[in-house]
């Protein structure tokens, strides 16, 4: 059958179905189900591993389509057809929004992420990189339904849906969902209670039922603060004190009184360290730090960020608390009470500051930094944001470090400071004059450019280190460089397979969540450390180096240099990695070999530890439990005392 005949046959079927209002409803359901199923297969990596999951993926859009489109039956007469089209468009928009979001974050939208919309205006070229010409397909069914209604050649029969017919439709939707849920529970017991992984919910129940689940979870979490009380912190304190790792006497206090300089390496994954592209080192300066005699390099260090990405990394860095399962702490819990690093170090005479070449409202930093107790926040208003030096998310790294130096020199020592880089960020744009290494040749633009922007970041950091050494700060400071989160998502596995020369399986993807961690301590012998750890462990590690015991603080991480450090790295979705076991999507692998493992009592024990840590941390954040507890010697932060406005900038604007 040629294309013209197929087109006529399709139109005939559509007209036939639409000749009765219930036929029009069925057509809308079929078109929407087909579109959603195709989107599942084409856009999302849901980890389908057996025939039951394939069946569930096929059927899970149906109950949602019947229920939501069935709402149109509540309308009278011709409004039924308009309601069908409007509801279809809204559902299509929700699906498409998740598709675009997934292309960037490999995750699904949650209601708390909608509070981050003020960040989206700064995405710039990232948005255009995510849009595809074929995306019109996701609204094609809406267009077909609208065309049938608008076309006078197709009659619109009168709608006569009584209570019985409406009841049948909604009862059918509920029955189909019940069967769907029962089959899902058979394949994944306790689906709705024991997982943090949104992929599971979408895979088993569908993107629309997930939306309802997410709304319930958001409503539940928003009420936790109101019902929290002092007794809730007791369970948390018992846990953190039971898992506390004593400082290593060899390192405790070796950096007492020294400055602390954090350098936030945007989107830098650990595979890039010592990686050669066409025989040339991509990050020669960072590579040299792996051999520096006074620098610890941790080669089994993992990011643990969730939907908050960069802000989650900062949150763990400052608090040793996990980010949230939905949304970002920075945007939803900025007014909470925290015992963050700047406030802790303030008790020891430290001045604190953040340097960032973007505007202070991004990720709500201007509010939550006050709750952390940062003395200063040098945002874009302190920098020359000219068109030549601004690209992608803000000021390019080289001018950023250069312009930060005079600001740094205004701070009283000892200081605790953090420099947040920006250039190495998706979609990794770079000008010809800034690119000092050729791109990779996988054919995937963002992956190919990643090596160029990583080299640019490496060069910018080297320039800053040259200043630190020349000024003497290098010998008076602990310098910590860390990767904040992955740079190349699983949506680019095909290109990454070319880069690494092996298939990127779920196990390999978990291993790629390693990010660099360098800790330079003047006068202390460093070296390569193979200890497994994550971002949650940075704060207690730093404080012990400075001679500050963390026993009385609510920290879920442990000192990486302590003999008692617990080598379990929970990921935000409930997966985890240890030196022996990697758990991904309910499957287990030998961490060293990648060989599949069967579930054992020891693996169950590890899973329970991971769930306990994440659950208790969530209770602290959702319930704002630190307002009920003040560690001995700690002075609580008063956010109202902090002001990050650039007075010189304001005076310039006034003139």
User: Which two tokens mark 48?
Assistant: 């389908």
User: Which two tokens mark 262?
Assistant: 């954090």
Per-residue 3-state assignment (H helix, E strand, C coil) for 314-371: HHHHHHCCCCCCCCCHHHHCCCCCCCCHHHHHHCCCCEEEEEECCCCCHHHHHHHHHH
Is-contact 313 321, C-beta < 8 A?
no
DSSP state of 300: T
Instruction: Give residues with Cβ within 8 angstroms of 51, minimum separation 6.
Output: none
Per-residue 3-state assignment (H helix, E strand, C coil) for 432-492: CCCCCCCCCCCCCHHHHHHHHHHHHHHHHHHHHHHHHHHHCHHHHEEEEEEECCCCCCHHH
Long-range contacts of 244-247, Cβ-Cβ distance < 8 Å, separation of 24 or more: 244/550, 244/551, 244/558, 244/564, 245/540, 245/558, 245/559, 245/562, 245/563, 245/564, 245/565, 245/566, 246/562, 246/563, 246/564, 247/544, 247/549, 247/559, 247/561, 247/562
Cα 252 to Cα 546: distance, rounded to the nearest angstrom:
7
Cα 456 to Cα 496: distance, rounded to the nearest angstrom:
20
Is-contact 269 515, C-beta < 8 A?
yes
Closest to 534 (Cα-Cα) out of 322, 360, 388, 330: 322
- CA 7 vs CA 1, 48, 155: distances in Å: 10, 33, 20
Residue 147: strand, helix, or coil: helix
Cα 336 to Cα 367: distance, rounded to the nearest angstrom:
10
Cα 505 to Cα 511: distance, rounded to the nearest angstrom:
10
Is-contact 460 268, C-beta < 8 A?
no
Instruction: Give residues with Cβ within 8 angstroms of 306, minimum separation 6.
Output: 312, 322, 323, 324, 325, 328, 572, 573
10 Å Cβ neighbour count for 416? Answer: 26
Is-contact 19 155, C-beta < 8 A?
yes
Q: Which residues are catalytic?
A: 310
User: Which two tokens mark 181?
Assistant: 């849920």
Cα 353 to Cα 340: distance, rounded to the nearest angstrom:
13
* DSSP calls for 514-560: B--EEEE-TTS--EEE---EEGGGHHHHHHHHTT---TTS--SS--T
90 phi/psi in degrees, rounded to 5: -60, -45
Left if phi > 0, otherwise alpha if psi is -120 to 50, otherwise beta: which for 264?
beta
* Burial class, 50, CB count within 10 angstroms (exposed 0-12 / middle 13-18 / buried 19+): exposed
Is-contact 306 573, C-beta < 8 A?
yes
């Amino acid at each position: 059958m040629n294309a013209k005949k197929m087109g006529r046959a399709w139109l005939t079927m559509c007209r036939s179905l639409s000749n009765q209002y219930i036929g029009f409803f069925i057509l809308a359901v079929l078109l929407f189900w087909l579109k959603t199923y195709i989107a599942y297969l084409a856009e999302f990596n849901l980890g389908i591993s057996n025939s039951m999951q394939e069946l569930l993926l096929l059927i899970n859009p149906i109950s949602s389509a019947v229920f939501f489109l069935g709402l149109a039956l509540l309308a009278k007469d011709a409004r039924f057809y308009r309601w069908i089209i409007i509801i279809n468009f809204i559902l299509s928009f929700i699906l498409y929004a998740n598709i675009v979001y997934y292309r960037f974050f490999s995750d699904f939208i949650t209601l708390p992420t909608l509070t981050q919309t003020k960040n989206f205006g700064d995405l710039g070229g990232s948005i255009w990189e995510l849009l595809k010409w074929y995306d019109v397909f996701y609204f094609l069914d809406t267009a077909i339904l609208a065309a049938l209604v608008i076309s006078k050649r197709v009659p619109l029969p009168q709608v006569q849906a009584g209570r019985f017919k409406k009841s049948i439709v909604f009862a059918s939707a509920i029955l189909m969902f019940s069967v769907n849920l029962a089959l899902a529970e058979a394949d994944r017991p306790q689906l709705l209670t024991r997982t943090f992984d949104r992929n599971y919910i979408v895979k088993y129940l569908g993107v629309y039922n997930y939306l309802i689940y997410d709304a319930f979870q958001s409503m539940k979490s928003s009420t936790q603060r109101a019902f929290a009380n002092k007794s809730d912190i007791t369970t948390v304190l018992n846990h953190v004190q039971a898992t506390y790792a004593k400082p290593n006497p060899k390192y405790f206090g070796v950096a007492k009184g020294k400055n602390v300089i954090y350098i936030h390496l945007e989107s830098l994954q650990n595979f890039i360290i010592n990686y050669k592209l066409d025989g040339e080192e991509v990050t020669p300066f960072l590579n040299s730090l792996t051999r520096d005699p006074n620098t610890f390099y941790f080669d089994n260090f993992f990011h643990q960020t969730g939907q908050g990405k960069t802000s989650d990394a900062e949150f763990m860095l400052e608090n040793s608390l996990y980010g949230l399962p939905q949304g970002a702490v920075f945007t939803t819990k900025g007014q909470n009470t925290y015992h963050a690093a700047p406030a802790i170090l303030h008790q020891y005479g430290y001045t604190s500051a953040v340097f960032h070449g973007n505007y202070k409202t991004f990720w709500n930093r201007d509010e939550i930094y006050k709750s952390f107790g940062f003395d200063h926040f040098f945002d874009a208003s302190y920098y020359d944001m000219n068109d030549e030096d601004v690209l992608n998310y803000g000021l390019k790294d080289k001018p950023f470090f250069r312009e930060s130096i005079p600001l740094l020199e205004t701070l009283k020592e000892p200081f605790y400071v953090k420099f947040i880089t920006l250039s190495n960020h998706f979609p990794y744009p770079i000008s010809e004059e800034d690119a000092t290494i050729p791109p990779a040749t996988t054919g995937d633009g963002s992956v190919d450019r990643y090596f160029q922007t990583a080299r640019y970041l490496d060069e910018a950091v080297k320039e800053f280190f040259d200043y630190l050494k020349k000024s003497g700060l290098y010998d008076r400071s602990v310098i910590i460089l860390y990767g904040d989160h992955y740079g190349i998502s699983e949506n680019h596995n095909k290109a990454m397979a070319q880069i690494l020369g092996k298939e990127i399986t779920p196990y390999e993807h978990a291993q790629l969540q390693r990010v660099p961690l360098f800790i330079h301590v003047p006068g202390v012998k460093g070296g390569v450390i193979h200890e497994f750890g994550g971002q949650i462990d940075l704060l207690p590690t730093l404080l012990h180096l400075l001679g500050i015991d963390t026993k009385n603080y609510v920290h879920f991480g442990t000192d990486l240099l302590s003999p008692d450090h617990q080598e379990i790295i929970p990921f935000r979705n409930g997966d985890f990695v240890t030196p022996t076991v990697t758990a991904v999507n309910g499957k287990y692998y030998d961490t060293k070999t990648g060989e599949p493992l069967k579930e054992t009592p020891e693996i169950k024990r590890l899973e329970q530890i991971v769930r306990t840590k994440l659950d208790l941390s969530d209770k602290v954040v959702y319930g704002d439990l630190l307002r009920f507890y003040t560690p001995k010697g700690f002075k609580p932060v008063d956010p109202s005392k902090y002001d990050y406005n650039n007075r010189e900038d304001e005076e310039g604007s006034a003139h």
